[in-house]
Amino acid sequence: MALTIVAATVVPALGAPPEDDGVPYPRQQPLTEPPVDEGDRSLGRGAVPFHDIAPQVNALMAGSPYVSAEVVGRSTQGRELYLLTVTAPESPAESAQQDRWRDLIKHDAEAALQDEELRAGYKVPVWFNNNIHGNEWDGTDASLSYLTELVAALEAGDPGAVDLAERYRLYFTLSNNPDGRVAGTRHTALNLDANRDHITNTTPETRVTRDLAGDLQPVFFIDLHGYTGVLQVEPTGPPQGENYEHDLLIPHAYAAALRIEEDVVAAGVEGNPLTPEGGIRIPYRDIPDGWDGWPPIFTPQYVQFQGSIAYTVELGPGRTDDPEENARRLEVNRQVGHQVIASTIAYVDENRDTLLGNQMEIFRRGAAGEPLVEIPANPDPDDYPGPDEWAAEWDAADVTGTDLPRAYLIPAGSTDAATLVDHLLAHGVEVGTADAAFSAGGRDYPAGTFVVDLHQPLRGLANVLLSDGSDISDRVPTMYDISAWSLGRLWGAQVDRVGETTDPPLDVATTPLTVAPPTGSFPQDADYVRLELAGVAAVQAVNAVLAGGAAVADLGDGTVLVGADGLAAAETASETYGVAFTADDGTALTGDDVRGLAPLRVGFTSTAGYAGEDELALRALGFADPVRVTAQGLAAGEVDLADIDVLWLGAPLGEDETAVQALADYFAAGKGVVAAAEAGAWAATTFGLFDAAVVSGPNRANGVVLVETAPHGVLAGQAEPAAFTYGPAFFTDLGENVTVEQTFAADQPLLSGHWLPTEEGTGGPEQAAGQASVVSAVSDSGARMLVFGTDPFFRTHPRGMFDDVAAALFWAGPEGALVPPPEEPREEPTEEPSQTESPTETHAPSEPPRTAEPTTGGAGPSQAPSEGRGGGRLPSTGAAVRPLAALTVLLAAGGGVLVARRRLAG
């Protein structure tokens, strides 16, 4: 057999300093072998259990200098993530040369294209990722099967194998989700789908994949999955992503898939099912809609921005409850997956120079800022390089492309902006700071403004992260998954698009960044400090002060005030979360809208199997130890709603009588709830909280939508002009006690995504325009309820919406202790003793302050709805559009909050 091998160029350690470059191969530090786990669900499939992977890799290393293994990260539960590399041994000088060439290819592609020594001597990288979905085990076994055969051929001196090892680096991430592999779950231990997380990077597993993509820079990438009955090999069907160089990627992607089909059919693996036509399934050819490559959230669609041909391979026969049948199916997929790997490497070897040249050309176009090459419908294949089989399949639905800006500008100063910039840098996007004040796009910007010049190698990735996206509703009838995402719209920072890609450079020098500057400030010698309660970091800071037992007052103007008992905690919060407190005299504490905030114990419900996003978002906001509420938990007495201050209903609780009665008692006690649309409608109807009709769009309609927020409502001061929705809903026929907090924009609410009306012609963006997207109400018992028709916690992505939920939770929850106002000055006595007035008494709160301890249940006077402007809510400062103050968190492996910003000296 012809073997193809790839050599491993892993940057010695992710994020390692430059002096570590040139670490030679092999790198053979033995892997730590975990203890045997008889409960590993891999065993039920007949697959290699996680505890056997390290021993097998150690055995491969011990027997061959061509094999290296490294630990490149850890899973949520702490299991090691292995990268195995096969390549010919290298000296330190040879490894350093490979590193220099790799960097030249990306950062000076024009020079690399002319470098004949590089073209001849560069070890072209190819990468196979496995098991990102934990209960799709078979790719790992297929990779180990291929590696075992390859290493045997190398040790036997097979000329083809040795030649490939000398000209390639083959990389294998053997289990991208070991926690899920052991537990037999699709999701990671954070209860998130890692293969939907490559833009947001909430899971540690996807952060490792993100970093490897930039470090390895593969020319070809395959993500091995299961199970679709028959082997399914991308490229995808339409719509194709709009930020890719498709003229360089599609021809070879399709030709390689055809090569795999030919080889798999010829292999005649016993028991391997084929399509009725006798082949495999290739979405580009066989699925006109519903298996698209539009969103960059999937691993291959993300890796493509590195100039890679990249696609998902779905192995065939799936899971059953019969262990023997499972083992038989695994054996089929092991052999078929083995062939897929061999055929891919053979294709790369046969087209090495062209594939490497195309990768360099993609980077060159990015740095030069050339417009994207748009392929029209029914193209003439002679007009495009590479194999021509693809042209017959390309039609109008595939035609994509976008007008790239010259740059994106992000005003500095907020933690949201700094967090966004750090996230861009983590993706390998180049960001600089303006060295002086300048003007662009008709606006003035100060020195220090963040500048993302789109003339850079990863311009496609930079644009897909920051752009609005496109409305693609008229391109295809259905989409496989989400159709829109936008860090620029949904992460709370102001992001301005400037110019076109062919424009000259901005008239300002910039300094490249490796990390965003610290943010935040705290005044010295202040009696009170004020904080704008906008942005996730501000909510975190407030929750931290409340947790310390200090009082925090909502002033009713979108800001909060902390007095003497909380100054030390506030200063620590400023340092920790990077938020800006300002000095205040405390006189606003006598206003009519002042309301004490309480430390909240939040209960939450979630859709079965998708609890991750709700809990992680609540923790990110600083609500410590949120309690998951389920019908089963209520029925078993494991959860007591008397211990909950306020509820987030991410999903209905169903018809269980015990659960329904527990919630009925909860609402009768006047306790509040914030809810997603379906859960809110269920609760409002079941418990008679308010009257409204809910109009739902198609379940999978989704996108970035434009919204308008009521100027004096619960969300005023928090909400941005854009939101995310999945299965959108709006509210009509509102009862008398219902307040509209936010509406879909009256004109074209869908900014980007895929949202069509239902088959009945209802629930589309035209029908939603101007309708209520968020409503609130106060029931007869005093229970406060706010319901979102949008999706503020969706997969933890729309982080600029998290503080909307926090504002609603504070409003719906109990009131807390009041901050004492300053003493009024005493009047001096008059010259006439008989006329002397008594000293003015110290002004006291109208009612005793409530304890700062979390409420344990029951309704009290302070839980009644406040009257007057703001109604005890968090109203607007009057600014129509304002960047959120600070999202400062990465959601750490265990779901906790990892704060990331440090304050400036204040």
- Reduce the secondary structure of 224-287 to three states and give it as a string: EEECCCCCEECCCEEEECCCCCHHHHHHHHHHHHHHHHHHHHHHCCCCCCCCCCCCCECHHHHC
What lies within 8 Å, CB to CB, of 54 at 6+ separation is: 31, 32, 33, 34, 80, 82
Gap between the Cα atoms of 392 and 376, Å rounded: 12
Residue 24 pLDDT more than 80?
A: yes
The rounded mean pLDDT for the chain is 89
In this structure, what token pair is assigned to residue 354? 């062209």
- pLDDT value of residue 591: 87
Give the residue from 218, 217, 207 showing the smallest Cα distance to 426: 207
The CA distance from 301 to 307, in Å, is 11
Contacts of 460 (CB under 8 A, 6+ apart): 243, 244, 245, 305, 362, 366
- Phi, psi torsion values for 409, nearest 5 degrees: -115, 130
Q: Where are the beta strands (DSSP E) in 341-459?
A: 407-410, 432-434, 438-440, 443-445, 450-453
Q: Is residue 191 pLDDT above 90, yes or no?
A: yes
Whole-number pLDDT of residue 556: 82
Q: Residue 357, SS3?
A: helix
pLDDT of 902 strictly over 80: no
Q: What is the pLDDT of residues 844-894, one digit of tens each?
A: 333 333 333 333 333 332 222 222 222 222 222 222 222 222 323 333 333
Q: Please, which pLDDT band fits residue 21 given cuts at 50, 70 and 90?
A: low
pLDDT tens digits for 735-745?
999 999 999 99
Tell me whether strands 407-410 and 496-498 are parallel, antiparallel or unpaired.
antiparallel
pTM: 0.89
pLDDT recorded at residue 593? 85
Residues 6+ apart with CB under 8 A from 792: 617, 723, 724, 798, 801, 802, 804, 805
**pLDDT at residue 500 tops 50:** yes
- pLDDT tens for 368-424 read 999 999 999 999 999 999 999 999 999 999 999 999 999 999 999 999 999 999 999
Statement: residue 546 has pLDDT above 60: yes
Q: Mean of the pLDDT values across residues 546-566? A: 93
Helix (H, G, I), strand (E, B) or coil at 223: strand
Backbone angles phi, psi at 528, to 5 degrees: -140, 155
Q: Which tokens is 383 given? A: 């007009």
Q: What is the pLDDT of residue 824?
A: 60
Give per-residue burial for 792-813: e unless 16+ CB within 10 Å, then b. bbbbbbbbbbbbbbbbbbbbbb
Higher pLDDT, 877 or 714: 714
Q: Looking up tokens 């909060």, which residue turns up?
A: 560
CB 431 within 8 A of CB 453: no
Cβ partners under 8 Å of residue 159, min gap 6: none
Could you report the per-residue pLDDT of 643-659, keeping only the tens digit for each? 999 999 999 998 899 99
| Separation of alpha carbons 42 and 703, rounded Å | 37
pLDDT reported for residue 896? 36
Among residues of the chain, what percentage have pLDDT more than 70? 88
Q: pLDDT confidence of 609, banded at 50, 70, 90? A: low
Paired tokens of 212? 């490897």
d(CA 785, CA 680): 8
Question: Between 677-687 and 657-668, two packed helices, what is the crossing angle to 10 degrees?
Answer: 80
Question: What are the pLDDT digits (tens) for 62-94?
Answer: 989 999 999 999 999 999 999 999 999 999 999
Q: Distances from the Cα of 793 to the Cαs of 55, 194, 652, 789, in angstroms?
A: 40, 16, 16, 12
What number is the average pLDDT over the span 161-171? 98
Reported confidence tier of residue 823, pLDDT bands at 50, 70, 90: confident
Q: What is the mean pLDDT of residues 511-526?
A: 95
Three-state DSSP class for 153? helix
